[in-house]
Chain A
Amino acid sequence: MNPFPISLMRRLGLTILVLLGLSILIFTIARVLPGDPALMALGPRAPDWAVQRLREQLHLNDPLYVQYYYWLRDALQGNLGESLVTRRNVASDIMEFFPATLELVLFAAIIDVVFAISLGVLAGRYANTWFDNLVRVVSYIGVAVPAFVFAIIFLLIFGYFLDIMPTAGRLTPGIAYPPTITGLLTVDALFAGRLDVLGDALWHLVLPGVALALGCIAQEARITRSSVVENLNKDYILSATSHGIPERTIMLKYLLKPSLIPTVSIMALDIASLIAMSFLVELIFNWPGFSRYGIVAMLRKDLNAIVGVVMMVGLVYALVNILVDALVAYLDPRIRMAERAK
């Protein structure tokens, strides 16, 4: 298919441009606004000469664009500088903590997709019944409650009052981690055949994952529902019914696919909010992920780490956007055809 790679290439080129622009933006913010990074790195009681020498080393006396050049050069080689907090390479910090967040966000995303679509389709099919109204009320509340509030409430109810769910970390202390293949505990446990670890990891994922997912489920269920309701009265559904196609086929095939299009279009933004909210939720659940690393970096003014984290988020989000757009194009041939016509 000829045009597809071209538009993909153009898309990738644009993405790279945008990420570059983002790096300039965040770099400028990190260097221009706060005080003296060298002083911050060494602490307030460092002797003057040490501060001056560090400034030389970090090129802090050079104009901004020169500093940026050095940063970019290093970054492209994988060196994002040193973290003020952990005193280690920011890049390796990010790599170490990333899988935990990835696992959490993926888990939340899967829950989101499954529940949002099922609830949305059912609410649409049984529109204006008690079920639909219940879903509607729940979704209004779900959208209005920030994920960190859900997190606190769940922690309170399930972690403390009922004491049935874990309140921190990815595994119960004492349980051995499975050998690392992907970094995702669930997957690694599966590979290692350690089903007890798999269960424990999943159990730990539930509270933070659900807290993250609820807002997205609420919104996507509503969109799916109104999409289903709108499409139920479309001529092509009536036509299929009039030709005697069984209801089940109509619902699960002919109605579902077009109805998912608006929902999937929203998914990119929703995944963005999942990533963003993970910054707070990981803090609350003490989840050792890269989002918690990021928020700690922000609280401690760990400039290199902040820049690194923001760039990583930008990169991940750009990938997500491309994937979602590809998915929408797959679902809706009209978009594919419009692309071809260009």
Chain B
Amino acid sequence: MSTPLLEIKDLHVYFKVYEGILKVLSGVDFRVEKKKKVGLIGETGCGKTTTMKAIMRILPALSARIPKGKILFEGKDILEMNSRDLQKVRRRNISIVFQDPTAALNPVFKVGEQLADVIKYSRKEGGTSLSEKEIKAEAVRLLKEVALPDPERIMENYPVQLSGGMRQRICIAMALASANDLLIADEPGTSLDVTIEDQILRLLKRLVEERDTSIVLISHALGAVRGLVDRVYVMYAGNMVEVSDTEDLFSDPLHPYARGLLRAVPKLTGGGIAEGIRGRIPDYLNPPEGCRFFPRCDYAMPICEKNQPPFFNHGNKHEVACFLYQR
């Protein structure tokens, strides 16, 4: 098997806060192959965004600690990289599209200028130095690629003058400008209308297919993920609990949490009221010793209380971190 594009091994991320230490990520394993589309689902607060921020090394410096783990990009550990290499990864290889496009754009600068700067430094890293006109032309081209009408006019606008959908597209354009290999889309469209969200997701699908880029699509909406990705990770409270090809997960969810998630989706055709999962996500200050889903799990066994389950293989590239599936 060739080197995966991105591989996270046993990543631990803690946050030092006033009350103590928030042990948010306690051993995350994640893998994205070249040119593959991977989804990441999980409820709010489970650590999806933290994981992605860790990849780009934009966690808050004062409070975040990474006591353990590796993040390998094409074999090299991002966490150990010097600033030059890190800069290259940021400018050429990986990008994040943030969840809230309004917050992700600087409100006091024109969007064209922000996009232009990203292009400028990305190209600089690649060895070419573009003139202002060339940068502007490239910016217009990118805006057209994300299906924005009248790019020249939009570039002269401030974020406050644009709609949510437009802002999201601009963020995508910026991400495209600085990522040739991997695009991380953190809940794109969550803050927008469902119709716009749908458009954005379709756009992303088209873009990554055209560019042959890998994508990590984060969402807490299962349906959104299903239509777009080939492989899905399910995350709960700072751990990956299940990973499989998309259809395998939806047809045969193994982990009790994943099952609960899929049961919780209301169905348009019959079925009555959807069931929720009892309980709530654990307190990261004092997380459970063993499996973090243990307090909420209907299938809990004594072994689950004290031991964190590793991934078990359940055939056909379907893995699940649950002692139920221990051989």
The interface of chain A, by Cβ under 8 A from chain B, is 127-128, 233-246, 249, 253-254, 257-258, 261, 331-334, 337
Residue of chain A at shortest CB distance from B89? A244
A257 to B158, CA, bound (A): 14
Known: A233-B60, A249-B117. A337 touches B105 (CB 8 A): no
Which residues of the other chain, B, contact A331 by a CB distance below 8 angstroms? 108
| Min CB–CB distance B189 → chain A (angstroms) | 16
Q: Which of B95-136 contact A (CB under 8 A)?
A: 95-96, 98, 100, 103-109, 114, 117-118, 121-122, 125
Partner of A241, one of B58, B88, B114: B58
Report if B264 contacts A (CB, 8 A): no
CA distance A141 to B24 in the complex (A): 40
Contact yes or no, A333 B104, CB < 8 A: no
Which residues on B sit within 8 Å (CB–CB) of A235?
Answer: 98, 100, 103-104
- Whether A239 pairs with B178 at a CB distance below 8 angstroms is no
Q: Within the complex, what minimum Cβ distance (angstroms) separates A185 from chain B?
A: 38
Indicate the member of B98, B107, B178 with the most A CB atoms within 10 Å.
B107
CA distance A253 to B125 in the complex (A): 20
| C-alpha spacing A149/B122, complex, angstroms | 54
Q: How far is the CB of B100 from chain A (nearest CB, A)?
A: 6
B62 at the interface (CB under 8 A from A): yes
Q: How large is the interface on B (under 10, 10 to 19, 20 to 34, 35 or more residues)?
A: 35 or more
- Which A-chain residue is minimally distant from B86 (CB atoms)? A244
A245 interface neighbour in B92, B98, B105, B117, Cβ under 8 Å? B117
Known interface pairs A238-B58, A242-B90, A243-B91; A333-B107 also in contact (CB < 8 Å): yes
B207 within 8 A of A: no
Q: Do A257 and B62 form a contact, CB below 8 Å, given A246-B121, A333-B160, A337-B161?
A: no
**Additional A-B contacts beyond A236-B104, A242-B96, A243-B122 (19; CB < 8 A):** A235-B103, A236-B105, A238-B53, A238-B58, A238-B98, A242-B95, A243-B178, A244-B92, A244-B118, A245-B118, A245-B121, A246-B121, A254-B106, A261-B108, A332-B108, A334-B108, A334-B158, A337-B158, A337-B161
Chain B residues near A261 (CB-CB < 8 A): 108
7 interchain pairs, CB-CB under 8 A? A234-B103, A236-B106, A239-B171, A241-B58, A244-B91, A333-B107, A334-B108
Q: Which residue of B lies closest to A335 (CB)?
A: B160
Q: With both chains docked as a complex, state the minimum distance between the C-beta of A130 and any C-beta of chain B, in angstroms.
A: 15
Residues on A with C-beta less than 8 A from B313 are: none
- Report how far A234 CA is from B58 CA in the complex, Å: 11
Contact, CB under 8 Å: B160 / A334: yes
Main secondary structure of the interface of A (DSSP, over half): helix
Q: Tell me the B257-299 residues at the A interface (CB within 8 Å).
A: none
Report Cα–Cα, A127/B175, bound state, in Å: 30
Asked if A333 and B106 sit within 8 Å, CB to CB, the answer is no
Evaluate contact between B121 and A243: CB separation under 8 angstroms. Answer: yes
Give the docked Cα–Cα distance between A332 and B107 (Å).
8
Given A235-B103, A236-B106, A249-B117, verify A244-B90 contact (CB < 8 Å).
Answer: yes
8 Å CB contact of A254 from B87, B88, B109, B161? B109
B110 to chain A, nearest CB (A): 8
B91 contact set on A, CB distance < 8 A: 243-244
Q: Would you call B174 an interface residue if the criterion is a C-beta within 8 Å of the partner chain's C-beta atoms?
A: yes
The CA-CA distance from A253 to B105 in the complex, in Å, is 14
> Do A236 and B103 touch across chains, with their CB atoms under 8 A apart?
yes
Q: Measured between alpha carbons, how far is A235 from B98 in the docked complex, in Å?
A: 8
Q: Cβ of B105: which chain A residues have Cβ within 8 Å of it? A: 236, 239
Q: How far is the CA of A241 from the CA of B103 in the complex (A)?
A: 14
Q: How far is the CA of A110 from the CA of B282 in the complex (A)?
A: 54
Candidate in B53, B108, B122, B175 with the most chain A CB atoms within 10 angstroms: B108
Check A243/B95 contact, CB under 8 A, given A127-B62, A249-B117: yes
CB distance from B270 to the nearest CB of A (A): 41
B169 to chain A, nearest CB (A): 15
